[in-house]
Amino acid sequence: MKTGKLPESVLKRSVLRQIHTKREEIILGAGVGEDCAAIKLKDDEVFVLSTDPITGTVKDIGELAILVNLNDLASAGAEPLGVLLSVLLPPEITEPEIREMMQQAEEACEKANVQIAGGHTEVTKAVNQPVITVTGIGKAKEGSLISTAGALPGMDIVLTKWAGIEGTSILAKEKEQELLTRFSPGFIRKAKEFDKMISVLPEAAVAVKNGVSAMHDVTEGGIFGALWEMAEASGVGLEIELKKIPLKQETVEICEFFGINPYGLISSGAMLMASSDGNRLVMELQKAKIPAAVLGKATFGNDRILINGEERRFLEPPKVDELYQALGRE
């Protein structure tokens, strides 16, 4: 395609016509020539905003872009309402590929009852693969927001699902041919399907009802990065038992294949929480069919300790995600 804005015919046919989900709160939405969205809230509600780019993969990028952003809103205890999409496309892109991305995005929005409220589309030589940046808009009752910074000494640290599930799915899709030299097609297919677990909206809803003090979705930098970020934001120390961090066997084996650390692998789909009663929270999550585990506790001071049997070592600040090393983009 020619560089610059998408032709109006393509915009209407392959972008705007893919958008079906509507919210009554959004009173001005996506359309030709519309540069803004307008949202009406009640007097006791507040806006919650988040923005994220997707740059690590092009497989299922439309769906992934939406899910990652909605997870950020959910981790703040907010109900997602709408999203704005900024889509940068390389000149080699085809209209069917654009339509597929938008269909992926709309399908993810429809499942979460979220409206694509607007955005921008552009073909540019500045990118060599599609880049989608999503700005999410949510609402929450005034005074009910949950932040990453709410962990207090003595609180239990809980993780839902498994560390590394997003990175495992991405590697299974992007590096399938390499992985087939060691693993069966069935093994790789199962790893690809980890993308079905990327939404954390269900566990966020359970957590909000059970009075968690902090939530943080585990994204770039993996579980080690998320633990550090929660502790740093909250001004607490940590004592975390390494063996209690849940991992899928597919994650372990794929990480061994590429020589990377699963604890530093991008992990959307896992939610880190701080609770005064972690065991009760785990039970409530399990009632909702969401796996969860208590990893350890927040402590006084700034020491962030990883315990592995008799070994104790310090957790380090977040590093470059292990995904980029495996993809050869570090």
- Which residue shows structure tokens 């000149």? 91
Render pLDDT for 9-40 as a digit per residue (tens, 0 to 9).
888 899 889 988 898 888 777 777 666 677 88
* Beta sheet of 45-54, edge-to-edge order: 4-5, 115-123, 79-89, 131-141, 45-54
46-50, 95-99, 124-128, range with the lowest pLDDT: 46-50
Considering the four listed CATH numbers 3.30.1330.10, 3.10.20.30, 3.20.20.70, 3.30.2080.10, the one that applies to the domain covering 4-141 is 3.30.1330.10
Structure tokens, 66:
């939406």
Sign of CA pseudo-dihedral 17, 22, 28, 29: negative
Render pLDDT for 255-266 as a digit per residue (tens, 0 to 9).
999 999 999 999
Query: pLDDT-derived band of residue 310, with 50, 70 and 90 as boundaries?
Result: very high
Asked if the model's pLDDT at residue 56 lies above 80, the reply is no
| Spatial separation of the C-alpha atoms in residues 26 and 68, rounded to whole Å | 21
pTM of the model: 0.85
User: What are the residue ranges spanned by the domains of the chain?
Assistant: 4-141, 148-327
Interacting residues of 78 by C-beta distance below 8 A, sequence separation 6+: 48, 138, 139, 140, 145
Question: How do beta strands 79-89 and 115-123 pair?
Answer: parallel
Asked if the model's pLDDT at residue 295 lies above 60, the reply is yes
Quick one: fold of 148-327? Phosphoribosyl-aminoimidazole Synthetase; Chain A, domain 2 (3.90.650)
| Spatial separation of the C-alpha atoms in residues 258 and 33, rounded to whole Å | 46
